[in-house]
Amino acid sequence: MIVHTARERPAPWSIRRHSTARNWLIPFVAFEWMWEWVAYALSRWSFLAVLEYLGTFSVLVAVIFYFSESGDRIKQRHYQAWQVINTAQGKGGSGGRIEALQELNADKVPLVGVDVSSAFLQGLNLAEANLMRSDFSSADLRNSNLSQVNFTLANLNSANLRGAALNGANFTQADLRNADLNGSSLSNADFTGATLDDADLRHANVQDLRWQQIKSVQRANIAGISNAPAGFVDWALKNGAVDRLDAEE
């Protein structure tokens, strides 16, 4: 903020001119003396002080409007994120969907029914997202963080989930046929009613897995799984699962 102070009245030109030792300096001194008078006159003009206060007030008003319209800006950002996701629907590649999905989830927006089938989404971070009835079929989700995600009734047919963190994920009635879960972490995941036919579960961490009500595990490969709950391996093999470490990668 500019602080206005009353300026001293400039000396008359006759005094200023006689105080100039060299004649060639007179034009420059005259120019400076003229602006001293302008500054002196303006320093005594109260209207300028009023303008300054109005300028400060306008900044305050702008700040108030900025925060009052923050809700509209968030809605606009969400709308743009959904546009990115929906425009790329059914296409390969990322198409900006990783950032869009993560942004929506960070703002606690439910992602129920989202369709990102066949998308390239390696390293996606959607921890605790609500992905109920979503379609991730044939999507590449390798090394993604999907802990505590709600995949109830989701389509994960042929999804690549190698090395993904799926701790505490809810796969109730999800379709995981042909899903690649090799090396994934499935501790405390809920597979109630899930279909795991032909799924690759090799080297997966299945500690505290809720497996008792799995719908089907026909030809699912459970070779090399770690921390298997008591009874799971025997049940799986009796219900059509296989134990083949030599299966094609």
For every one of its 249 residues, what pLDDT tens digit does the chain have, with 9 covering 90 and above?
555 556 677 777 677 666 776 777 677 677 776 777 677 666 666 655 666 666 666 666 666 655 555 556 788 889 899 999 998 887 778 889 999 999 999 999 999 999 999 999 999 999 999 999 999 999 999 999 999 999 999 999 999 999 999 999 999 999 999 999 999 999 999 999 999 999 999 999 999 999 999 999 999 999 999 999 999 999 999 999 999 987 655
3-class SS at 232?
A: helix
- Domain 69-244 sits in CATH at 2.160.20.80
What is the DSSP secondary structure assignment for residue 227, as one 8-state letter?
Answer: S
Strand ranges, E, within 5-93: none
Question: Please, what sign has the CA dihedral across residues 91, 146, 158, 136?
Answer: negative
What tokens were used for 65?
A: 């409007």
- Cβ pair 116, 96 in contact under 8 A: no
Long-range contacts, stretch 99-102, CB < 8 angstroms, 24+ apart: 101/126, 101/129, 102/126
Find, among 126, 117, 129, the residue nearest to 93 by Cα.
Answer: 117
| pLDDT at residue 32, rounded to an integer | 77
Q: How far apart are CA 9 and CA 106, in angstroms?
A: 63
Three-class SS of residue 84? Answer: helix
> How many CB atoms lie under 10 A from the CB of residue 222?
23
In contact, 116 and 135? CB cutoff 8 Å: yes
- How many Å apart are CA 21 and CA 222, to the nearest integer? 101
